[in-house]
Amino acid sequence: MRRIHTWGPVALATIAVSACAPNEDIDVTRELDAVNVIDESNLNDLMLNSASAEEAVNYFTRATKEFPDRVDLKRGLAKSHSRAGNVTPAVAAWADLIETGQATNEDRVGFASALIRSGDWDRAKEQLDKIPPTYETFDRYRLEAMVADSEKDWKASDSFYEIAVGMTTRPAGVLNNWGYSKLTRGQFTDAERLFNEAIGYDPDLFTSKNNLILARGAQRNYTLPPIPVTQTERAKLLYTLGLSAIKQGDVATGKGLLREAVDTHPRHFEEAVRALRTLESEV
């Protein structure tokens, strides 16, 4: 909408000048083209921000076929594929945009994110390395942390995670990732603390709740922590805790937790029942 307000005075000025100089020809086609560009720009933003992911993909797919040299449409296609979770097409669309030589730092971050989703860590690192250090955003540092994790560069990982957490008001997701990083390193106490922080910011983030149970189970702490859970979530967490106990060799405790999970679940809990049957058949 900002561009529409910018065009308004220009249009008025054009009309005023034409009124003062009636003998001058007005390039109507040019003026209409300007309006179309403004309207199309607004439509692009609308499709990216308000339309469904697949609607945006269809729109930008058609648009890029009609105008294959338009960088803004290539960017829209890459973003819409990423938003829709279409990993392979997103990587291809971002690569096509990068090849134009007109990609921004934000575009490289988007490309790196798509590459990480595809498991191509080396190319993701290449894109991030091309971004100057003065470009500081939450997404950039979040991805830098994940790449550092993939290289087991724990010092850099912790540094990037810490910076990313400080750059957002919604850090639950990045705190969960940081906690999982600690979990894979065997730093279970730190992992537990980070998962608790993530749940504090987003009490509905079940991934962090489950990861918290894994961190506690790895320390042979087989009690559920005081976190908000639904009845179904409680059953699932007891199931995870039971499997953790069995993995640690505490089979009797694990079986008890699995039975509690079955009893707690509001409906039939097939996974827990199957695990119990497997244990009992082995005995």
pLDDT score at 27: 53
Contacts 24+ apart (CB under 8 A), 93-101: 97/71, 98/127, 100/71, 100/74
Terminal Cα distance for the chain, rounded? 69
Give Cα separations from 273 to 12, 222, 258, 278 (angstroms). 74, 19, 8, 9
Contacts 24+ apart (CB under 8 A), 44-48: 44/72, 44/73, 44/76, 47/76, 47/80, 48/76, 48/79, 48/80, 48/83
Q: Which of 50-54, 108-112, 140-144, 218-222 has the lowest mean pLDDT?
A: 50-54
Cβ–Cβ under 8 Å, residues 80 and 48: yes
Farthest-apart Cα atoms in the chain, separation? 101
pLDDT tens sequence across 176-213: 999 999 999 999 999 999 999 999 999 999 999 999 99
Decide which of 272 and 40 is more confident: 272
Residue 269's pLDDT band (boundaries 50, 70, 90)? very high
Q: In this structure, how many other beta carbons lie within 10 angstroms of the beta carbon of residue 83?
A: 17
pLDDT tens sequence across 106-138: 999 999 999 999 999 999 999 999 999 999 999
Q: What average pLDDT does the segment 87-94 reach? A: 97
pLDDT score at 100: 96
pLDDT score at 41: 62
Q: What average pLDDT does the segment 57-70 reach? A: 93
Residue 283 has pLDDT above 60, yes or no: no
pLDDT score at 40: 62
Whole-angstrom distance, CA of residue 47 vs CA of residue 49: 6
pLDDT score at 50: 77
pTM across the whole model = 0.81
DSSP state of 266: S
The rounded percent of the chain whose pLDDT value lies above 90 is 79
pLDDT tens sequence across 133-183: 999 999 999 999 999 999 999 999 999 999 999 999 999 999 999 999 999
Q: What is the mean pLDDT of the chain?
A: 88
Q: What are phi and psi of 210, to 5 degrees?
A: -65, -40
Contacts 24+ apart (CB under 8 A), 67-72: 71/97, 71/100, 71/102, 72/41, 72/44
Q: Is the dihedral of CA 222, 228, 232, 233 positive or negative?
A: negative
The first and second tokens of residue 21, run together, are 């100089």
Nearest CA to 139 out of 104, 174, 172, 115 is that of 174
pLDDT tens sequence across 228-267: 999 999 999 999 999 999 999 999 999 999 999 999 999 9
Decide which of 20 and 252 is more confident: 252
- The position carrying tokens 């997701």 is 173
